[in-house]
Homo-oligomer: A and B are copies of this chain.
Amino acid sequence: MKTAARQDLSSPQNPLLRALRRALREGEPGADGTFGVEGPRLVEEALRSPVEVAALVAARSAEARLAALEARANGRVRSYLVPDRVFRALAQTETPQGIAALVRLPKRRLEQCLEQPNALVAVLVGLQDPGNLGTILRSLEAFGGSACLLAENTVSPFNPKAARASAGSLFRVPMFRRLKLAESLRLCNQLGFRTVALAPRGGSELRRVDLRGPVALFIGQEGSGLPDAALKQVDTIAEIPLAAPVDSLNAAMAATLALYEAARQRASAK
């Protein structure tokens, strides 16, 4: 095992610490593409994912945890130890666990991700709740999804709540942001995807919709659902039959069910 390059920092004005604080607070990557993640579990997920961990930062009281993470990184990461009060000032969680990191995702080409055989893609259209987004990323990875398209001002996947709910999947599921709905539909059609909109009613039962082959699942906003333009232009609308008086499911649950159903059909087809 290599010895990790570890350094002590004490000034909150240190450029690295300022960058980390900004990244955690804004939940958006900075100009250099790095974003902040907090908590030992997420940082461990980053270390076992194909992402660049640009810096590992720990509070002095979390030195044992830092050492364990350095060992896992096998010398591949620069780490920094800071006083507890400095860490608390940069952390965004209420009870910080003393571990954070600056992480950079690899660049990915959209077409390359979509051109996989039998690609299963989620297209999020204006999703607002970061917990829902994170949950969908986790389900997407769990059920063999190829990519996640984030259209129409969907919340940032780099929001700390989204990162936590993703349980690390945000480090691995290729994501493409700032797309327009029309653009996403055109692209999916060009590449021969079956486009399927999830809606609370007015569609075919989910289990009767063919979800094998290249499929793009369109998922709308929590309150208002998908815009009419999406419902009109997709190949199929799928609904999940619900017992009255329940009239809808949470967006993350509905998406998870559709992804599970796709995986189930694909496994049955083998």
- Residues of A near any B CB (own CB < 8 A): 48, 131, 135, 138-139, 141-144, 165, 167-169, 172, 207, 240-243, 245-246, 249-250, 252-253, 256-257, 260, 263-264, 267-268
Contact = CB atoms under 8 A, between A and B. Distances in A.
A242 to B, nearest CB: 4
Contacts of A240: 142, 260
Which 9 pairs between the two chains have the least Cβ-Cβ distance? A142-B246, A142-B242, A144-B243, A253-B256, A257-B260, A141-B246, A207-B264, A142-B243, A142-B249
A240 B139 CA distance: 11
List the number of copies, as a whole number: 2
B241 A263 contact: yes
B257 A138 contact: no
A154 B233 CA distance: 45
A135 B48 contact: no
Contacts of A245: 48, 168, 172
Nearest to A257: B260
21 contacts: A48-B245, A131-B131, A135-B250, A138-B249, A138-B250, A142-B240, A142-B249, A143-B242, A143-B243, A144-B243, A165-B250, A168-B245, A172-B245, A207-B264, A207-B267, A207-B268, A241-B263, A249-B256, A252-B253, A253-B253, A257-B257
Contacts of A246: 138, 141-142, 167, 169
A257 B261 CA distance: 9
A252 B264 CA distance: 19
A137 to B, nearest CB: 10
